[in-house]
C-alpha cells in the first residue's frame, strides 16, 4: 500500500477548494473540512519526510518572514516548513518600530513580493494592530497581483497575531489528535485552558484565545479558567460559544482552576495578560506615555502575584481524568524551581511531560508547510501522489 | 512557437561576448549591444518564470551581498535574482564602519569567495569610495582566481555606488522600453531628469547620474534640471554629452523645472544632494569632523527649503506631452501630504502612477539576474533554449 | 579513469564506520583512519566541484549555525560547506549573552532541530564552557532523536571551542599534505608551533592546542614554543605527548622561538593568551567582576609587550630548512607595518606566503563538508561514485 493512499483518501472526503490561492488568518475563518485538510496534509508531509521522500514543490522561490518580536521557535518552524517545500527564507527586518501605515505598507508589501510565494508574519504585541496589519499586507499584494505587478500572489501565514496563533494551536491540536488516536476521538473530551501564574507579565493572549476558538470545533467540553480580571477578548469568547454549539460540545468559563482541572482529559495551564490591560498598554504606546506603561507593568506584576496558587502542581494534575490528563504548553514554560522560583508548572509535572511537549512542538513546521501546500497546490491529492511517485530522496542513500 | 525563440533571435544579432566572466560596474562601460543583451535576457527570464519554467542555472553556489547602507528593496531584488538562478544569498555584514583598506579588503574578498559565484555590493555613501571599493574587491578575487585560490571567479554586480546605480536605471529603462513598445521607440523621446524638493537631505547622486549616463544611449533628448548649486558629478555630465552625440540624441541642462517638463515623454523628478556637498561631507567624515558634518547638514536642509517649488505637481505634469508623460521614480518617493508635508511629488500624481511605478521596480530582480546570467553562461542562447527544453517546473503543478 | 576512483580506493583502505551518524568534537577523539577519511573526502568533494559535478546529497534540510563570537571566515566556510551539500543555513542568534544552562539548552536544541541535519557551533571564549556546551547540545538532540521527537539526528561540527579548533587545524593539515605531496610525507617533518607578539590580547588557545593535538598524529617533530607564562592547557600537552609516542614522532616545548624555527619544515607563529589568564578571565566573567577583567586585560597587554621580539621576521625564517619553511596562519594575521605597528609577522614574509596562506584557508569549507558527508552517508564510497555517475552539473554549461 502506498504511503500517501490514506491521506489522499481522507482529502477526497473533504471540501477545501477555497484554500487554493488563499491565506490563513484565523482558524475560525476556516471550515472544519479546511482544518482537517491542514491536519491531513501535515501528516502526509511528515510521512514523506520520515520515508526520505522529498516534498519540494518549489524549484525556487522566496518565503518572506516578518517578525515584530524576537522569536526562535516560530522562526525555525517557518524556516523548516519553507525549506521542506523548496523555498528560501528571506527575513524582512523592520526593527521593532511601531507599525508602519498606509502607503508604506502597500509599497513595501509589493517591493518584497516580486518573487515571494509566502509571507509569514508574527505581530502580536499591540491589540487591534497585528491582524489588521496582516490584512493590509494581503490586500496590498492581492491588488499588486491583480494589477499585474506581481506574477504570483504570495500566501499569508499568520505566525501569531493579537487575536489568534493558528500555527501553534493547530500544532497543539494535531498533537492531541495523535495522542487520542484520531480527530473523531476528540468529541466529548474535556479541555481545561487555564491561566497560570508567571513572574513575568504581558504574555500574549493569542494562545488562550486561539485554543478556545479552535478546540471548540471538535465537540470537546472546553473550559476557560482564570482569576477574575484576566478576561480574554470578548469577541473570541463569542466565537467559542458558537463553535461549541455547532460542534455539539460546550464552552464555559470559571474562576476556579481546580474546577477546570476536575476530570479534564487535556490541560493547558499558561500565563497571559488581561485583555483590557493589553488594550490599555497599546493606547499608552500609541500616546508615547512611557511612565503610564511603567505604572501599568507594576500593577500587572502585583496583580499576578495575588494568584501564585494558579500553578499546575502534582496535586492539581491528580484531579484530572485518572490523574493523567495530557498536559499541553506552547513553550517555553515558566517551571517552578527551574526557570523561576514560582511559575506555571511544577518541575516534576513538566519533567514527566517533556517528551510529549516536545512532540507537540514538532508538529508546527508541518502545520505551516501544510498551510502553504494547500494554498499553492490546485490539486493537493495529485501533488502528494506525484511526490511519492517521484520519490526524489531528501537525503541521498 | 517556442517561448525563447524571439529572445534567442535578438541575442543572435548582438555582440556581447565580453560579458562572459565579467563584472558590471557602470552602464557606460558597456556597449549598446551589451546593454541590449541584458534587457533581452531579463525579458527572457521573466517569460520563463511567467510560464512556470525554472531558470536555475546553479545547482548550488553562494551569492554574497554586501550592503553598506540599510536597504530593503535592493536586498530583496538581489535575493530574488539569486534565488531565481539557484544561488543562496549569504550576507556579509561589516557594520556601517568606514571602508576597510588594502590588505583587509584583499583578504576578506578571498575568504568569502571560495564558493561564491556572485558578489553584490551597495556602497554609495562616500564620494570617490564606493566604486573604488568594488574595484578593489574585483581585483582581489580576480587575482585569487588566477593564483588558483578560488576555483571560480565571482562576478560583481554593482548594486549602487557613488557614481552609478546600474541595476536601478536599467530597470527604469526596461520599464520605459515596455511602455514605449520596444527599445527602437526610445529615439527622439524627451526625458526630464529633474531635481525635486525633499525634506530630507543627502539623497544619493547615483540615480540622476545613472539616468543621464544611460538614457543618452538610446537617442533620447535628455534634459537634466536642477536649481543652481545642485550640480552632479562633472565627469558623468561629460559621459552624457558623448553618449548623446554618439546615439543621435541630445543632452542639456537647465535650472528650470517647467522648461524640462515641457513636452517631455518621460519625467523623473527626484531629490539629490549637490555633488560638491557630498564630496565635502566625505572629507569631513574622513577627518572625523562631526561638528562640520552637522553644520553641513543644516546648510543643506536650509538650501533645500529654498526650492520647495520643485515639486511634480498636477500643473507641472500638464506641461508634458499630452499631459501624460511617463512618471518614473526609484522609490520610495517623498509624497506631499502622504509621507511628508511637502515633497517631491503631489499625492494625486503619485496615485495615478502607482501601478506603473511598482511595475518599474519589478524589473530590477530580472535585470540583476540577467547580469549574472550573461556573466556565467558562455552561450546564453543555448542556455535559454536548454532551460525551456528542460521545462523543469518552478512550482509543481 | 574516473574522478572518484582514487578517493574511493583510499577510503576502502580506511576504517571509519563510527563516523556515521556521529559528531566531530576534538581531533584526538578520532582515529588516524577517521582523520584520513576526512582528508580524502574533502579532496574528493573538491575534485567534484572543480569538475562542475554537483555534490548535493541533500534535496532539502537545514544547517544550524550558532556563533558566540563575531566570525566572517568560519561563517562563510560553514555556509559554503552546507550549500555545497544542499543544506540551507539558518542562524541561531542568541546574542553574545552568557551560556544558557540546563533546561533551556535541552529545549532550544530540540526546538531548532526538527528539520536540522547539522549544527555548527563556535564557542571559544570561556575556558571550560564551549566544548561542554556542545556536548549538552549533542546530548539533547540525541535524546530527542531516541525519544522520537526528532526524525533525524543532527550532526555537530565543532567550529571552534575552548579546547580545539578542528576545522581550522584539519584545513591547515590538508594544506600541508598537499604541499608535501601526501600524508605519508609528513613523517619526520619539523613543525614549530610558536607564540608571536600581537598588540591585541586574549586570542584563543584553540589553534595552538589544536595544532599540537593534531600534527603529532603524523609522526612529525612538533615543537611548541612560547615565552614563559604563555602555557597552553596541560591536558592537551599530555595528548600531544601521547600522540607523538604513538605515531613515532616527537613533542617538546621550548621558550626560545629561534630554537623552534631552527631547521623547521613548517612554522605556525601566532599569538595567544596564557591558559591560566583565560581561566581567570572566565571566572571573573562568572563573578561579574568587570573591574577585575579590566585589570587583567591591562596586565596581559603589558606582559605581551615584553615579548615583541617574538616576531616571524625574515631573519627568523632564514633559520628554517633551506630558509623555506612552509609558513602557516589561521588568518587574519597581525602584520608588522600593515595591520599594526608591531605584530606577529614581517610584511615581507607575509607577502611572500600570501597565496599559500589563502590556499590553506580554502580547504576549510571542504573539511567541514567532509565531516558532514561522513556523518550522513552510510556508504561514502558508494555516495561519491553515485555523485560522479549522476554528473548533475553544479553550473549549467
In DSSP notation, B217-258 reads GGT-EEEEE--TT----HHHHHHHHHHHHHHT-EEEEES-HH
Q: Are B206 and B306 in contact (CB under 8 A)?
A: no
Indicate if B182 and B88 belong to the same structural domain. Answer: no
- Residue B378 in any domain: the answer is yes
Q: Compare CB distances from A60 to B46, B84, B361 and report the shortest one's residue.
A: B84
How would residue B103 be classed by pLDDT, with cut points 50, 70 and 90?
low
Torsion of CA A209, A215, A217, A222, to 10 degrees: -90
List, in order, residues 6 or more apart from B33 with CB less than 8 Å away. B14, B15, B16
Predicted confidence at residue B71, as pLDDT, reads 79
Chain B residues with beta carbon closer than 8 angstroms to that of C397: 378
A62–B contact, CB cutoff 8 A: yes
B77–A contact, CB cutoff 8 A: yes
Q: Are A207 and A234 in contact (CB under 8 A)?
A: no
Output DSSP code: residue B185: G
Mean pLDDT value across residues C118-143: 95
Question: What angle in degrees, to the nearest 10, is found between the helix axes of C364-376 and C73-85?
Answer: 40
Mean pLDDT value across residues A170-192: 98
Mean pLDDT value across residues B314-336: 97
- Ramachandran assignment for A229, one of left (phi > 0), alpha (psi -120 to 50 degrees), beta (any other): left
Asked if B102's CB is within 8 angstroms of C394's CB, the reply is no
Flag whether pLDDT at B99 surpasses 90: no
Model pLDDT for residues A199-215, shown as the tens digit of each residue = 988 899 999 999 999 99
CA gap A80, A171 in Å, rounded: 14
Predicted confidence at residue C70, as pLDDT, reads 73
The 10 Å Cβ neighbour count of residue C217 is 25
Indicate if C101 and C237 belong to the same structural domain. Answer: no
Report strand pairing: A88-91 vs A62-67: parallel
Flag whether pLDDT at B201 surpasses 90: no
CA gap B35, A126 in Å, rounded: 49
Q: Are B336 and B279 in contact (CB under 8 A)?
A: no
CA gap C389, A162 in Å, rounded: 54
B20–C contact, CB cutoff 8 A: no
Output DSSP code: residue A95: T
- Residue C395 in any domain: the answer is no
* Per-range mean pLDDT, top range of B100-104, C184-188, C198-202: C184-188
CA gap B325, B341 in Å, rounded: 25
Residue C314 grid cell: 625574515
- Residue B132 in any domain: the answer is yes
Which of B117-126, B254-263, C12-21, C39-48 comes out lowest in average pLDDT?
A: B117-126
Predicted confidence at residue A70, as pLDDT, reads 73
Model pLDDT for residues B58-97, shown as the tens digit of each residue = 999 999 999 887 778 889 999 999 999 999 999 987 653 3
How many contacts does B have with C, using Cβ atoms within 8 A? 86
List, in order, residues 6 or more apart from A312 with CB less than 8 Å away. A196, A267, A269, A327, A344, A345, A346, A349
User: First and final CA of chain B: distance in angstroms?
Assistant: 22
Which of A12-26, A259-273, B121-135 comes out lowest in average pLDDT?
A: B121-135
Predicted confidence at residue C72, as pLDDT, reads 84
Indicate if A354 and A376 belong to the same structural domain. Answer: no
Predicted confidence at residue C95, as pLDDT, reads 55
Closest by CA to B50, choosing from A377, A375, A153, A151, is A151
A335–C contact, CB cutoff 8 A: yes
Beta bridge partners of B93: none
Chain A residues with beta carbon closer than 8 angstroms to that of C115: 49, 80, 83-84, 365
Alpha-carbon torsion A272, A276, A277, A281, what sign? positive
CA gap C216, C211 in Å, rounded: 8
Mean pLDDT value across residues A366-383: 98
Question: What angle in degrees, to the nearest 10, is found between the helix axes of B364-376 and B380-390?
Answer: 110
Q: Compare CB distances from A58 to B50, B364, B394 and report the shortest one's residue.
A: B394
C52–B contact, CB cutoff 8 A: no
How would residue B202 be classed by pLDDT, with cut points 50, 70 and 90?
confident
- Residue C396 in any domain: the answer is no
Indicate if C109 and C255 belong to the same structural domain. Answer: no
Query: Which residue of chain B is at minimal alpha-carbon distance from A93?
Result: B72
C108 φ/ψ angles, rounded to the nearest 5 degrees = -60, -45
Predicted confidence at residue C1, as pLDDT, reads 61
Model pLDDT for residues B142-171, shown as the tens digit of each residue = 999 999 999 999 999 999 999 999 999 999
Indicate if B310 and B374 belong to the same structural domain. Answer: no
CA gap B198, B311 in Å, rounded: 9
CA gap B272, A48 in Å, rounded: 55
Asked if B111's CB is within 8 angstroms of C72's CB, the reply is yes
Q: ipTM score here?
A: 0.95
Indicate if A267 and A376 belong to the same structural domain. Answer: no
Indicate if C320 and C354 belong to the same structural domain. Answer: yes
How would residue A99 be classed by pLDDT, with cut points 50, 70 and 90?
very low
Predicted confidence at residue A98, as pLDDT, reads 38
Q: Which burial class, exposed, middle or buried, applies to C12 when counting CB atoms under 10 A from its CB (0-12, 13-18, 19+)?
A: exposed
Q: Report the domain count for chain A.
A: 2
- Count the residues in chain A: 397
Asked if C54's CB is within 8 angstroms of B103's CB, the reply is no
Q: Are B186 and B180 in contact (CB under 8 A)?
A: yes
CA gap A347, A342 in Å, rounded: 10
CA gap C95, A344 in Å, rounded: 26
CA gap B43, B360 in Å, rounded: 13
Beta bridge partners of B91: B65
Torsion of CA B316, B319, B323, B328, to 10 degrees: -60
Please, what's the largest Cα pairwise distance for chain A? 65
- Residue C120 in any domain: the answer is yes
Flag whether pLDDT at B115 surpasses 50: yes
Chain B nearest CA to A59, separation (Å): 5
Q: Compare CB distances from A386 to B79, B335, B396 and report the shortest one's residue.
A: B396
Predicted confidence at residue A95, as pLDDT, reads 55
Indicate if A113 and A180 belong to the same structural domain. Answer: no
Mean pLDDT value across residues C354-382: 98
Predicted confidence at residue B69, as pLDDT, reads 73
Mean pLDDT value across residues C382-386: 98
CA gap B325, A251 in Å, rounded: 62
Asked if C383's CB is within 8 angstroms of A396's CB, the reply is yes
**Mean pLDDT estimate for chain A:** 95
Instruction: Give the Å distances, CA to CA, from C15 to A92, C43, C376.
Output: 47, 18, 16
Model pLDDT for residues B289-311, shown as the tens digit of each residue = 999 999 999 999 999 999 999 99
Predicted confidence at residue A103, as pLDDT, reads 65
Predicted confidence at residue C381, as pLDDT, reads 98
Flag whether pLDDT at C144 surpasses 90: yes
Closest by CA to B36, choosing from B246, B267, B251, B218, is B218
Indicate if B344 and B216 belong to the same structural domain. Answer: yes
Mean pLDDT value across residues A221-245: 98
Task: Determine which helix (DSSP H) or strand (DSSP E) holds A282, and give its type and residue range.
Answer: helix A275-287
Place of cell 600537552: C237
Predicted confidence at residue B221, as pLDDT, reads 98
User: With b meaning 16 or more CB within 10 Å and e meaning fewer, what string describes B368-389?
Assistant: bbbbbbbbbbeebbebbbebbe
Tally the C-alpha atoms within 13 A of residue C332's C-alpha that lie toward its C-beta.
20
Query: Which residue of chain B is at minimal alpha-carbon distance from C356?
Result: B149
Q: Could you give the percent of chain C with pLDDT greater than 70?
A: 97
Which of A47-56, A63-72, B320-329 comes out lowest in average pLDDT?
A: A63-72
Model pLDDT for residues C166-180, shown as the tens digit of each residue = 999 999 999 999 999
Chain B nearest CA to A140, separation (Å): 12
How many contacts does A have with C, using Cβ atoms within 8 A? 86
C115–A contact, CB cutoff 8 A: yes
A35–B contact, CB cutoff 8 A: no
Output DSSP code: residue C321: G
Closest by CA to B337, choosing from B306, B304, B314, is B314
- Domain of residue A231, CATH code: 3.40.50.1370
Predicted confidence at residue A67, as pLDDT, reads 87
A144–B contact, CB cutoff 8 A: yes
Q: Specify the 3-state DSSP secondary structure of C133.
A: helix
Closest by CA to B39, choosing from B72, B62, B6, B74, is B6
Question: What angle in degrees, to the nearest 10, is found between the helix axes of A380-390 and A5-12?
Answer: 170
Q: Could you give the percent of chain B with pLDDT greater than 70?
A: 97
Asked if B151's CB is within 8 angstroms of C50's CB, the reply is yes
Residue B34 grid cell: 551589451
Asked if C79's CB is within 8 angstroms of B62's CB, the reply is yes
Mean pLDDT value across residues C14-21: 98
Mean pLDDT value across residues A44-56: 97
C1–B contact, CB cutoff 8 A: no
List, in order, residues 6 or more apart from A109 with CB less than 8 Å away. A119, A136, A137, A140, A141, A144
**Domain interval for residue A83:** 5-164+364-390
Instruction: Give the Å distances, CA to CA, from C191 to A144, B287, C268, C349.
Output: 64, 46, 8, 18
Chain B nearest CA to C74, separation (Å): 9
Indicate if C89 and C151 belong to the same structural domain. Answer: yes
Predicted confidence at residue C98, as pLDDT, reads 38
Q: Compare CB distances from C111 to A54, A72, A396 and report the shortest one's residue.
A: A72
Indicate if C156 and C247 belong to the same structural domain. Answer: no
Q: Specify the 3-state DSSP secondary structure of A61.
A: coil
CA gap A346, C348 in Å, rounded: 66
CA B277 to chain centre: 22
Predicted confidence at residue C103, as pLDDT, reads 65
Mean pLDDT value across residues A382-392: 96
Chain A nearest CA to B81, separation (Å): 9
Indicate if B353 and B245 belong to the same structural domain. Answer: yes
- Residue A396 in any domain: the answer is no
Predicted confidence at residue B97, as pLDDT, reads 38
- Residue A395 in any domain: the answer is no
Predicted confidence at residue C94, as pLDDT, reads 66
Residue C358 grid cell: 589563502
Predicted confidence at residue B72, as pLDDT, reads 84
Residue A239 grid cell: 466565537
Output DSSP code: residue C183: G
- Residue C10 in any domain: the answer is yes
Asked if C84's CB is within 8 angstroms of B60's CB, the reply is yes
C331–B contact, CB cutoff 8 A: yes
Mean pLDDT value across residues A45-73: 93
Report strand pairing: A116-123 vs A221-225: unpaired
Which of A313-322, B119-128, C213-222, C255-264 comes out lowest in average pLDDT?
A: B119-128
**Mean pLDDT estimate for chain C:** 95
Subunits with 3+ Cβ pairs within 8 Å of B are A, C
Query: Which residue of chain A is at minimal alpha-carbon distance from B48?
Result: A151
List, in order, residues 6 or more apart from B32 with CB less than 8 Å away. B217, B247
Chain A nearest CA to B238, separation (Å): 34
Q: Compare CB distances from C149 to A86, A359, A392 and report the shortest one's residue.
A: A359
Model pLDDT for residues A324-346, shown as the tens digit of each residue = 999 999 999 999 999 899 999 99
Residue A153 grid cell: 500572489
Q: Compare CB distances from C144 to A73, A358, A393 and report the shortest one's residue.
A: A358
Q: Are A375 and A23 in contact (CB under 8 A)?
A: yes
C31 φ/ψ angles, rounded to the nearest 5 degrees = -75, 165
Asked if B359's CB is within 8 angstroms of A59's CB, the reply is no
Amino acid at each position: 500500500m502506498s504511503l500517501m493512499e490514506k491521506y489522499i483518501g481522507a482529502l477526497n472526503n473533504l471540501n477545501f477548494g477555497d484554500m487554493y490561492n488563499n491565506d490563513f488568518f484565523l482558524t475560525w475563518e476556516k471550515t472544519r473540512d479546511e482544518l482537517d485538510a491542514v491536519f491531513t496534509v501535515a501528516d502526509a508531509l511528515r510521512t514523506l519526510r520520515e520515508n526520505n521522500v522529498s516534498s519540494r514543490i518549489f524549484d525556487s522561490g522566496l518565503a518572506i518572514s516578518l517578525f515584530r518580536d524576537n522569536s526562535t521557535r516560530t522562526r525555525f518552524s517557518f524556516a523548516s516548513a519553507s525549506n521542506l517545500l523548496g523555498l528560501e527564507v528571506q527575513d524582512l527586518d523592520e526593527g521593532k518600530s511601531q507599525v508602519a501605515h498606509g502607503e508604506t505598507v502597500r509599497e513595501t508589501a509589493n517591493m518584497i513580493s516580486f518573487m515571494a510565494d509566502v509571507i509569514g508574519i508574527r505581530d502580536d504585541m499591540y491589540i487591534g494592530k497585528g491582524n489588521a496589519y496582516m490584512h493590509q499586507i494581503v490586500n496590498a499584494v492581492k491588488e499588486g497581483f491583480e494589477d499585474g505587478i506581481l506574477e504570483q500572489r504570495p500566501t499569508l501565514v499568520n505566525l501569531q497575531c493579537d487575536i489568534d496563533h493558528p500555527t501553534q494551536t493547530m500544532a497543539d491540536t494535531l498533537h492531541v489528535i495523535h495522542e487520542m488516536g484520531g480527530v473523531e476521538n476528540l468529541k466529548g473530551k474535556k479541555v481545561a485552558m487555564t491561566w497560570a501564574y508567571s513572574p513575568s507579565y504581558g504574555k500574549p493572549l493569542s494562545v488562550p484565545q486561539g485554543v478556545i476558538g479552535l478546540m471548540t470545533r471538535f465537540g470537546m467540553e472546553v473550559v476557560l479558567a482564570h482569576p477574575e480580571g484576566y478576561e480574554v477578548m470578548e469577541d473570541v469568547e463569542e466565537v467559542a460559544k458558537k463553535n461549541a454549539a455547532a460542534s455539539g460540545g460546550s464552552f464555559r468559563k470559571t474562576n476556579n482552576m481546580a474546577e477546570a482541572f476536575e476530570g479534564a482529559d487535556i490541560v493547558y495551564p499558561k500565563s497571559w495578560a488581561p485583555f483590557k490591560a493589553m488594550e490599555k498598554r497599546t493606547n499608552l504606546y500609541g500616546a508615547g506615555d512611557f511612565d503610564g506603561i511603567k505604572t501599568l507593568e507594576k500593577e500587572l506584576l502585583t496583580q499576578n502575584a495575588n494568584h501564585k496558587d494558579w500553578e499546575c502542581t502534582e496535586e492539581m494534575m491528580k484531579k484530572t481524568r485518572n490523574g493523567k490528563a495530557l498536559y499541553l504548553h506552547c513553550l517555553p514554560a515558566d517551571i517552578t524551581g527551574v526557570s523561576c522560583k514560582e511559575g506555571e508548572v511544577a518541575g516534576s509535572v513538566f519533567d514527566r511531560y517533556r517528551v510529549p511537549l516536545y512532540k507537540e512542538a514538532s508538529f508546527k513546521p508541518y502545520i505551516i508547510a501544510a498551510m502553504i501546500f494547500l494554498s499553492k497546490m490546485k490539486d493537493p491529492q495529485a501533488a502528494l501522489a506525484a511526490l511519492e511517485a517521484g520519490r526524489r530522496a531528501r537525503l541521498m542513500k
